[in-house]
Amino acid sequence: MSKTLPRILLTGFDPFGGETINPSWEAARALHGRRIGGHRVVARQIPTEFAASLRLLKAALRETAPAIVLGVGQAGGRTQLSLERVAINLQDARIPDNAGAQPIDEPVIAGAPAAYFSTLPLKAMLAALHEAGVPAAISHTAGTYVCNHLAYAMLHWAARKRGVRAGFIHIPWLPLQAASRHGAPSMALEEMVRGLEIALRVAAVTPRDIRRGAGTLD
Amino acid sequence: MSKTLPRILLTGFDPFGGETINPSWEAARALHGRRIGGHRVVARQIPTEFAASLRLLKAALRETAPAIVLGVGQAGGRTQLSLERVAINLQDARIPDNAGAQPIDEPVIAGAPAAYFSTLPLKAMLAALHEAGVPAAISHTAGTYVCNHLAYAMLHWAARKRGVRAGFIHIPWLPLQAASRHGAPSMALEEMVRGLEIALRVAAVTPRDIRRGAGTLD
Amino acid sequence: MSKTLPRILLTGFDPFGGETINPSWEAARALHGRRIGGHRVVARQIPTEFAASLRLLKAALRETAPAIVLGVGQAGGRTQLSLERVAINLQDARIPDNAGAQPIDEPVIAGAPAAYFSTLPLKAMLAALHEAGVPAAISHTAGTYVCNHLAYAMLHWAARKRGVRAGFIHIPWLPLQAASRHGAPSMALEEMVRGLEIALRVAAVTPRDIRRGAGTLD
Amino acid sequence: MSKTLPRILLTGFDPFGGETINPSWEAARALHGRRIGGHRVVARQIPTEFAASLRLLKAALRETAPAIVLGVGQAGGRTQLSLERVAINLQDARIPDNAGAQPIDEPVIAGAPAAYFSTLPLKAMLAALHEAGVPAAISHTAGTYVCNHLAYAMLHWAARKRGVRAGFIHIPWLPLQAASRHGAPSMALEEMVRGLEIALRVAAVTPRDIRRGAGTLD
């Protein structure tokens, strides 16, 4: 019975920065209710606001008690799915968030560690994505805006839950967002959804990550 | 009766540079036989070879007597559909072509003009693509490899045919080509096909291009 | 006696686009009066204006009757010296020029050819620059703004003068222009000047260009 | 007397990845012995080797007992001085180091925190660099190779020393390294040295960092 399946909490954000759509929520909601690797996906929209995003995250975590948590966020200008390896305890907002807040050089959670590593099997996820022909790479910075903020809070929460896996994936603009921006890269929603499904399946069924180089020189 | 429709000759290339697929041919053949703007699309594959490409082009032009000629080519690393504004009378091959030829600093057609401008209504095509949410931009260089070679030959041919419109569009890698190339941009085949169909429709039904800036400072 | 030396006309532009300095003029004037390869450099500043630039060019050509003409222009965002291979007969201004004019889809010179190739020995110049450790590449588009406009006019003029060599080189922003632009590339003025001097020397003493690939796939 | 001045330990690396020069050592040694902001600079070369780099760092720290530690490393492809905000406890080598080691997914220091933030006044340093016209930006990833490795170890060491400031700056290729790499950005050694001197002066004399946004959305 589906209610007894362990949950995947999959979050996306609402539009920000003048956009009228956010591909992260479009992709997340497309997977809502799907059964992946013996888990049930529960999608939740998170506001692109430093303060409210953490409140909504806590409520969603309490409600769903997930075995896997994956945050998804828009990274305009990136070309591929970016599997974030680390989130840092820093807010440094280049533009105001959707509530008008623009924190500079403040921690996400005061007194907490400088960073958390993703606990998803990123190398196995990357291998599966490449095998399936989905453009993807490991990233070592999730920025310093609301995406990193949420990712850090997810990992902070998961660090105290035995057996819970958590992580964050940045996704490019949709074609319609990039259309008239000269030279802007994009990715089709279908490709994003396909990639997220593959990533979640690997996360759900891979007990232990593989060892495979995906580093950067700088 | 369809045989009486004016023709659009739409060309794509075979794979080169170690690839096993060329998105330009995949996109072109997806439109083969389609009726667009009162024209019938005839798709033809062209080899990525300096010499043979012009022979095949001539045969296809003779066979189809097209009203519109659009060449399509892969531009790995580009992010959007690139509507080429100009083709130059130069071969300067960075890698050998599929026949092993690597011409350097030779003209496409000896004694012919230094360049030809596309005679497609590029600004109207660009406006329609942006309106439809397809990432696209005007480009002022088609390179110096087989793509520019074919584009130049098309425009040279069209220059002597009254009323024939010709041009070239570069397209990005497919997602599966970009998948494991770190940071490589790509575009879904469906998006490319949708964009080419829009571009061809505008080319077929727009008697006179619109005036709209799409230049670059350098 | 120095007055009898053949002349090199070296032009740079005044600042545009909100800048207070234009590296092309800084570099050109640094070489004014220098003897290079048996020629005397005469530097002239050209306004970043479509109309006035051609008037000033004509006056400078008449005054100096040069054996070599090299235009230099700022290409903000480029990383290296760009040896322009071709200039096209097109004005398509993304921003107004310094006189407020913003021509769109107009020829530089009505009725003239679609393009001219540079008549400088670009491959020999490139080889010498690389040998000297100066970052440089051949470019196949000079844009559609005042730089291409001037370059086209220079080549149009040189096409009717037997034995005159002409061409154009784009240069990056200076470090101080790039300083607070996130991620903007730049080049030191000394490096630009050194590169231009090498380029001019090769242009002055190389009777016939070398054959060496420097093409692009797209 | 100069012996009584507090020390700045400034490190650079030896060449790696097929290069014959490493700008980080060229820049560091240019400042060796200089008095900056009431401190004396001691430059030390560090091998681009995961294991040996930490041994050499420890010896240099013991020897110099510095008040400020700044590591400098080459980041080929970057365009500006990159003031690294954070170093992570991860080795993931894309290429073997100079000793042939290629660690994958191993911590820099087992059992140590996931990351350390730089304790240099980065925002004040950035403001001073921009004021002086030196291209610079804050970076939120130092990669996963020997640079991040050394930076992490520096910050780990400094975390246990009251009043010691530590951090890392990535620098671009030199022009001669970028010369024949198509499109590769670079920076003159003089500009790097000037920038590092400004950065060190600010680090030496600024008791408390300023508050100024320099974040990234992703």
Question: Would you state the structure tokens that stand for residue D126, as one six-digit string?
Answer: 């950035």
Cα torsion angle, B136, B141, B142, B148, sign = positive
DSSP state of C213: -
Whether C2 has a pLDDT exceeding 70, the answer reads: no
Instruction: Give the domain ranges of chain C.
Output: 7-205
Q: Which residue of A has its CA nearest to B129?
A: A179
Q: How far from chain centre, in Å, is Cα C186?
A: 17
Residue A3, amino acid: K
Instruction: Identify all chain D residues contacting A75, using CB atoms and an 8 Å cutoff.
Output: 217-218
Whether C1 has a pLDDT exceeding 50, the answer reads: no
Which pLDDT does position D218 carry in this prediction?
Answer: 85
Which pLDDT does position D4 carry in this prediction?
Answer: 85
DSSP 3-state of C147: helix
- Say how many CB pairs under 8 Å bridge A and D: 133
Which pLDDT does position D1 carry in this prediction?
Answer: 43
Contact across the interface for A147 and D212, Cβ inside 8 Å: no
Chain C CB within 8 Å of residue D97 CB: no
Min Cα separation D4/chain A (Å): 35
Dihedral over alpha carbons C122, C126, C127, C130 (to 10 degrees): 170
DSSP state of C109: S
Whether D147 has a pLDDT exceeding 80, the answer reads: yes
Alpha carbon distance D145, D168 (integer Å) = 13
Contact across the interface for B79 and A186, Cβ inside 8 Å: yes
Classify A33 in phi/psi space as left (phi over 0), alpha (psi -120 to 50) or beta. Answer: left
Residue pointed to by tokens 């070489």: C31
Q: At what angle do helices B146-158 and B50-64 cross, to 10 degrees?
A: 30
Min Cα separation A25/chain B (Å): 19
Q: Which residue of D has its CA nearest to A105?
A: D211
- Listed in order, strand segments (DSSP E) in C57-149 are 68-74, 81-84, 86-88, 91-92, 104-106, 115-117, 136-139
Report the percent of chain A where pLDDT is more than 90.
Answer: 94
**Strand arrangement, sheet containing D81-84:** D35-36, D39-46, D7-13, D68-74, D165-171, D81-84, D136-139
Q: What is the average pLDDT across D13-24?
A: 97
Min Cα separation B94/chain C (Å): 5
Chain A CB within 8 Å of residue B20 CB: no
Min Cα separation A148/chain D (Å): 8
DSSP 3-state of A177: helix
Instruction: Round the average pLDDT of chain A to a whole number and report it.
Output: 96
Classify C164 in phi/psi space as left (phi over 0), alpha (psi -120 to 50) or beta. Answer: beta
Q: How far from chain centre, in Å, is Cα B45?
A: 12
Best of C170, C191, C216, C217 to disrupt the D interface (most D CBs within 10 Å) is C191
Tell me the Cα Rg of chain B: 16
Min Cα separation C102/chain B (Å): 9
Alpha carbon distance D117, D89 (integer Å) = 12
Question: DSSP secondary structure string, C190-208?
Answer: HHHHHHHHHHHHHHHH-SS
Chain C CB within 8 Å of residue D184 CB: yes
Cα torsion angle, A170, A176, A181, A182, sign = positive
Chain C CB within 8 Å of residue D140 CB: no
Instruction: Identify all chain C residues contacting B211, using CB atoms and an 8 Å cutoff.
Output: 104-105
Which pLDDT does position C69 carry in this prediction?
Answer: 98
Contact across the interface for D216 and A140, Cβ inside 8 Å: no
Nearest Cβ partner for A115 among D114, D142, D144: D114
Min Cα separation B185/chain A (Å): 5
Question: DSSP secondary structure string, chain B?
Answer: -GGGSPEEEEEEEPP-TT-S--HHHHHHHHTTT-EETTEEEEEEEE-S-HHHHHHHHHHHHHHH--SEEEEEEE-TT--SEEEE-EEES-EE-SS--TTS---EEE-SSTTS-SEEE--S-HHHHHHHHHHTT--EEEES---SSHHHHHHHHHHHHHTTSTT-EEEEEEE---HHHHTTSTT-----HHHHHHHHHHHHHHHHH-SS----------
Chains that touch D (3 or more CB pairs under 8 A): A, C
Residues within 8 A of A (CB atoms), B 67-86 only: 79-80
Alpha carbon distance C141, C148 (integer Å) = 8
Report the percent of chain C where pLDDT is more than 70.
Answer: 99
Contact across the interface for C143 and B95, Cβ inside 8 Å: no
Nearest Cβ partner for D79 among C130, C134, C183: C183
pLDDT in tens, A175-205: 999 999 999 999 999 999 999 999 999 999 9
- Judged on CB neighbours under 10 Å (0-12, 13-18, 19+), C111 is exposed
Mention every residue, 6+ apart, whose C-beta is less than 8 A from residue B14: B22, B25, B45, B46, B47, B48, B98
Chain D CB within 8 Å of residue A172 CB: no
Q: What are B83's strand-pairing partners?
A: B138, B169
pLDDT in tens, C72-105: 999 999 999 999 999 999 999 999 999 999 999 9
By residue count, chain D amounts to: 218
- Judged on CB neighbours under 10 Å (0-12, 13-18, 19+), D210 is middle
Instruction: Identify all chain D residues contacting C135, using CB atoms and an 8 Å cutoff.
Output: 175, 178-179, 181, 184-186
By annotation, the residues of D acting in catalysis are 84, 147, 170
Alpha helix (H) residue ranges in chain C: 23-30, 50-64, 122-131, 146-158, 175-178, 189-205
DSSP state of D209: -
Nearest Cβ partner for A137 among B183, B186, B191: B183
Mention every residue, 6+ apart, whose C-beta is less than 8 A from residue D108: D54, D89, D90, D91, D148, D149, D152, D153, D156
pLDDT in tens, A79-137: 999 999 999 999 999 999 999 999 999 999 999 999 999 999 999 999 999 999 999 99
Which pLDDT does position C3 carry in this prediction?
Answer: 60
Which pLDDT does position B123 carry in this prediction?
Answer: 98
Chain C CB within 8 Å of residue B94 CB: yes
Q: Which residue of D has its CA nearest to C133?
A: D176
Looking at the predicted complex, does its ipTM rise above 0.90?
Answer: yes
Min Cα separation A4/chain B (Å): 36
By residue count, chain C amounts to: 218
Contact across the interface for C143 and B92, Cβ inside 8 Å: no
Which pLDDT does position D3 carry in this prediction?
Answer: 60
- Among the listed residues A83, A81, A74, A89, the one whose alpha carbon sits nearest the alpha carbon of residue A154: A89
Given a contact cutoff of 8 angstroms between Cβ atoms, the answer to whether A218 and D75 are in contact is yes
Alpha carbon distance D18, B179 (integer Å) = 27
Alpha carbon distance D85, D108 (integer Å) = 17
Chain B CB within 8 Å of residue C44 CB: no
- Among the listed residues B186, B82, B77, the one whose alpha carbon sits nearest the alpha carbon of residue B129: B82
The more confidently predicted of residues A215 and A6 is A6
Which pLDDT does position B72 carry in this prediction?
Answer: 98
CATH match for B7-205 among 3.40.630.20, 3.40.50.2020, 3.40.50.880, 1.10.490.10: 3.40.630.20
Largest CA distance in chain C: 50
Question: DSSP secondary structure string, D120-179?
Answer: S-HHHHHHHHHHTT--EEEES---SSHHHHHHHHHHHHHTTSTT-EEEEEEE---HHHHT
Instruction: Identify all chain D residues contacting A148, using CB atoms and an 8 Å cutoff.
Output: 218
Q: What are A81's strand-pairing partners?
A: A136
Contact across the interface for D140 and A145, Cβ inside 8 Å: no
Given a contact cutoff of 8 angstroms between Cβ atoms, the answer to whether B131 and B210 are in contact is no
Given a contact cutoff of 8 angstroms between Cβ atoms, the answer to whether B200 and B94 are in contact is no
Whether C218 has a pLDDT exceeding 90, the answer reads: no
Give the model's confidence band at A1: pLDDT under 50 very low, under 70 low, under 90 confident, else very high: very low
**Of C147, C149, C156, C191, which one is the catalytic site residue?**
C147
Catalytic annotation on A19? no
Given a contact cutoff of 8 angstroms between Cβ atoms, the answer to whether A153 and A49 are in contact is no
Chains that touch C (3 or more CB pairs under 8 A): B, D
DSSP 3-state of C180: coil
Chain D CB within 8 Å of residue A115 CB: yes
Whether C197 has a pLDDT exceeding 80, the answer reads: yes
Chains that touch A (3 or more CB pairs under 8 A): B, D
What residue ranges of chain B have pLDDT lower than 70? 1-3
Helix (H) or strand (E) holding A131: helix A122-131
Contact across the interface for D86 and A115, Cβ inside 8 Å: yes
**Of C39, C49, C84, C156, which one is the catalytic site residue?**
C84
Contact across the interface for A134 and B184, Cβ inside 8 Å: no
Residue A164, amino acid: V
Nearest Cβ partner for B75 among C102, C113, C218: C218
The more confidently predicted of residues A57 and D4 is A57
Min Cα separation C110/chain D (Å): 34
Contact across the interface for C113 and B115, Cβ inside 8 Å: yes
Q: What are B58's strand-pairing partners?
A: none
Chain D CB within 8 Å of residue C109 CB: no
By annotation, the residues of B acting in catalysis are 84, 147, 170
Min Cα separation A212/chain B (Å): 13
Contact across the interface for B176 and A133, Cβ inside 8 Å: yes
Whether D187 has a pLDDT exceeding 60, the answer reads: yes
Q: Which residue of A has its CA nearest to B79?
A: A185
Alpha carbon distance A43, A31 (integer Å) = 7
Question: Strands D7-13, D68-74: parallel, antiparallel or unpaired by DSSP?
Answer: parallel
Chains that touch B (3 or more CB pairs under 8 A): A, C
Q: What is the average pLDDT across C103-121?
A: 98
